[in-house]
Amino acid sequence: MAAVPHSVTTLDEFFALPEDNIRRHELLEGIYVVSPEASFRHQRASFALGRALLPAVDQQPQLELVALPGDIVLGPRTVVEPDLCVIPRPATAQVHWREVGRPVLVIEILSPSTAARDRGVKRRLYQQAGILEYWIVDLDARLVERWRPGDERPEILNETLSWQLPESSEPFKLDLTAFFAEVLDR
């Protein structure tokens, strides 16, 4: 089952739930949603993208790359669990997810069970929250949809993905043809 609405509607109720490191749990505008575990190819793509991003993010002492599971609070009734995100580096590793700053980049890798939410309600929530960049990685189409606040349509990228990190002179660049070949063709 892709999504199971539940009576959880507040942050306190959400964070009181028992841990479950298999399925994805999110609170989307007060609606509790549970999604199945990610497929092998989904995890392979997430790991490969994280590995590619890490050197660029590590050059920014104020930022940290986070490979989820982890709960990003976007509002009083909204907690998302993106596949990858870049957040302001917390002062301590003992920080609770509620205290983590708003991401500067959020990445979702599409799965059949989450594609409609990732492109619909979650995209809208990320844009409303002012997330500077939201990437939707479509493994089947071998492309990345880049969304920014205020965009009515995504920028479609299928050759090179370039991202200008805050306070960096050089942008992060990813050859998407090589990335998708590494993830899907080997």
pLDDT of residue 77: 87
Considering the domain boundaries, does residue 19 fall inside one? no
Q: Is residue 30 part of a domain?
A: no
pLDDT at 7: 67
What range defines the domain where residue 105 resides?
A: 38-184
Residue 23 lies in a domain: no
Q: Please give the angle made by the CA atoms of 33, 25 and 125, to the nearest 5 degrees.
A: 65
124 Cβ contact list (under 8 Å, min separation 6): none
Predicted TM-score (pTM) of this structure: 0.89
**Amino acid 85: pLDDT:** 95
Short-list 125, 133, 64, 74, CA closest to 95: 64
User: How many domains does the chain fold into?
Assistant: 1
- Per-residue model confidence as pLDDT tens digits over 172-185: 999 999 999 999 99
Report if residue 2 sits inside a domain: no
Q: Sort 131 into a burial class: Cβ within 10 Å, 0-12 / 13-18 / 19+.
A: buried
Q: 98-118, pLDDT tens digit by residue?
A: 778 889 999 999 999 899 999
Is residue 163 a part of any domain in this protein? yes
Phi, psi of 151 (to 5 degrees): -65, 135
Is residue 22 situated within a structural domain? no
The secondary element (H helix, E strand) that includes residue 34 is strand 31-35
Whole-number Å distance between alpha carbons of 10 and 76: 7
Res. 1 pLDDT band, cuts 50 70 90: very low
15-23, long-range: CB within 8 Å, 24+ apart, which pairs?
15/71, 15/97, 15/98, 21/69
What digits encode the pLDDT tens for the residues 128-180?
A: 999 999 999 999 999 999 999 999 999 999 999 999 988 788 899 999 999 99
- pLDDT score at 14: 83
Give the separation between CA 36 and CA 162, rounded to whole angstroms: 31
Look up the CATH number of the domain holding residue 151. 3.90.1570.10
Q: What is the pLDDT of residues 53-88, one digit of tens each?
A: 999 999 999 999 998 777 888 988 888 999 999 998
Which pLDDT score is estimated for 4?
A: 44
Residue 82 CB partners (closer than 8 Å, separation 6+):
68, 72, 103, 106, 107, 108
Give the CB-side neighbour count of residue 94, counting CA atoms within 13 A: 0
pLDDT at site 57: 95
What tens digit of pLDDT does each residue of 4-50 get?
445 667 888 888 887 777 788 888 988 888 888 889 999 999 999 99
Residue 29 belongs to a domain? no
